[in-house]
Each structure stands twice: as C-alpha cells, then as structure tokens.
Amino acid sequence: MRLLSSRRRHPATRALFLALALSLMGVLYATVAPTAPSSAEGPSSTQIEEGQALYRTGCASCHGLNAEGTSQGPTLIGVGAGSVDFQMGTGRMPAAAPHAQIPAKPKVYSDDEIAAIAAYIGSLDLGIAIPDIGQYSMEKPARGQFPAGHDGDVAYETALDEYYRVVAIGGELFRTNCSACHNYQGTGGALPGGKHAPSLEGVEGRYILEAMRIGPQQMPVFSADVISDEEAAAMITYLEELHGQRNNGGLGLGGFGPVGEGLWAWLIGIGGLICFAIWITRKGVRAK
C-alpha cells in the first residue's frame, strides 16, 4: 500500500493515467462527434450530370460523345477539370472553327456552366484540378491589420518589406522562365510559325497557375516540382503589381529596360558623330 501512497507513486503510473485518459477521450469524441463532411467538397452527381448534358450539346461534336476525341478535337479523358476551367475561362473553348492557335476571347458559358462541365470531365479521370485561391494569391499587408501607434507602424513596414521581397523573387522567376516568350513585362510576343504568346495583362491568377501546370500549345509544362505553388503565387503577384503600376507617360519601349534607351542613344549619338565627321572632312577638303 505504501507504494501507491500519493507521495511515492511509481513514475510510470502518471504516464499510464495520461495515456488512458487520452484514449478514453478519443473513444468518446469518435462516438459523440458528428461525422465530419469530407473537407474536399467534391462535385455533386447532379452537377456532373448537368455538365455532361452541356458537354454533349456544346463540345461533343469535336471532342466526341464520351470525350474520346474525334478528328476535330483531342480526347478530354485525363486532362482534368483544371484544363476545362482554363480553356473555357479564357474563352478558347468552345472553339468556333479549327485554327492553328485557337484565340482567347470573352467566355461564352457562365461560371456555373463551366464548373459543371469541368466537374464532368474531372469525373472521367483525374488530371489537373482547379486550384484553390490560396494556391495562387498572396495577401498584401494593409495598415489596418496592425495596431495603431509606433509599434504598429514598424510591424506594418516589416510585413510590407517582406511582401515586396517575395514579389521580387516572383519577378526574377518570371524573367527566368516566362519572359522569353511573354516578354519582360508579360505583354506577349510573336513565336515562329505565325503563332504568338499572348499578353498576360489582366489574366486572372488561377488561369496563370493552370496554364503553367497544363502548358497549352508551345508553352512548356511547369510542374509543381519545377515551380512550387508558393513560387507561382509570387510570380502572379509580381505580374499583378507590374500591370497595376501607374503609367507615368513616356514611351514604354517594351519594358526592355536600358536596352531601348541605349538603342536611341546609339542612333542619335553615333548618328550625330557620323554627321559631324562628314561635315569636318568636307570642311577640310575645302580648306586645301
């Protein structure tokens, strides 16, 4: 009995009690707690049916009755909901007619209809999913989120510095991976074979992330192994900051940086020197 007296309890009994109590609570919780709905709220079967009906009237003529593909369009089995969201959200689909590069245009279907068709195609096979907003957006610190006064000012400035540091990394990633085709300012550019990389100005963040994961037409696929979601969010925020920038007038010169200015310095500076040289030799000849 002495062994169990409150002062001389075996050190293991405490741990044993704790483990027992915890497992008891676990059992209690499991029986009492309502069965939680699965966190990833999947599409409902009615939405999929609705999508299938819309698909059959608007898309099947080119992509086949069961998305198996025809001579007019590729199979959509395995492309995923994200691919449908991208193609329809940017207005590329439904295509009006065969074309070497089907152009983006204002979207034809409503957001609900696009979601339904995306759910239907996504239900056929996995593929690229529609990303969540957290995957492609970064929150810009606002002064109101911090307490008033000096400490709040300092905290706000620090958060803002950090935000712009990440945005700058996004800019670097954009210039390394995308500017070859989309230009330094994301305003687009020509590609061989009469094709083009479109301007990214005003393109919604989720379509930018989807395009990276899909790699439409000549665009390479940038998988999450190459550019993580966080890096993609930094790039997208960089583009938003860049395109939201106030234009203070003057010629943009394609945002090429000092290259554009250098060209003009060359033309005017060197041109002026040549004119001067010609003028001076003429004078020299006359003086003889």
What residue spans of the chain are helical by DSSP H? 11-32, 45-58, 60-63, 81-89, 111-124, 150-177, 179-182, 205-214, 229-244, 258-265, 271-287
Nearer to ligand HEC among residue 95 and residue 224 (C-beta): 95
Which amino acid is it at 72? Q
**C-beta closer to ligand HEC: residue 92 or 124:** 92
Judged by beta carbon, residue 156 or residue 201, the one nearer ligand HEC is 201
**Min. distance of Cβ 57 from ligand HEC in angstroms?**
9
Distance in Å, CB of 243 to ligand HEC, minimum: 12
Q: In the complex, what is the shortest distance from the CB of residue 284 to ligand HEC, in angstroms, rounded to a whole number? A: 54
Long-range contacts of 210-218 (CB under 8 A, 24+ apart): 210/82, 210/83, 210/85, 210/86, 210/128, 210/130, 210/131, 211/86, 213/82, 213/128, 214/79, 214/82, 214/83, 214/86, 214/128, 216/86, 216/87, 216/92, 217/101, 218/181, 218/191
Q: Which amino acid is at 40?
A: A
The encoded tokens of residue 84 equal 């449908």
Which residues are near ligand HEC by CB under 6 A? 58-59, 61-63, 72-74, 76, 79, 83-84, 87-88, 90, 92-95, 97-98, 101-102, 104, 117, 177-178, 180-182, 191, 195, 197-198, 200, 203, 207-208, 211-212, 214, 216-220, 222, 235
At its nearest, how many Å lie between ligand HEC and the CB of residue 63?
6
Residue 169 beta carbon to ligand HEC: minimum distance, rounded to whole angstroms: 13
- Looking at the Cβ atoms of 34 and 194, the one nearer to ligand HEC is 194
Greatest Cα-to-Cα distance within the chain, rounded to the nearest angstrom = 130
Q: How far apart are the first and last CA of the chain?
A: 130
Nearer to ligand HEC, 108 or 154 (CB): 108
Cβ 212 to ligand HEC shortest distance, Å? 5
* C-alpha distances in Å from residue 259, one per residue of 20, 179, 182, 240: 72, 15, 17, 24
Nearer Cβ to ligand HEC (172/261): 172
Q: Give buried/exposed letters for 210-242 (b at 16+ CB in 10 A, else e).
A: bbbbbebeebeebeeeebebebbbbbbbbbbbb
Q: Please report how close the Cβ of residue 240 comes to ligand HEC at its closest, in angstroms.
A: 12
Q: Which of residues 103 and 257 has its CB atom nearest to ligand HEC in the complex?
A: 103
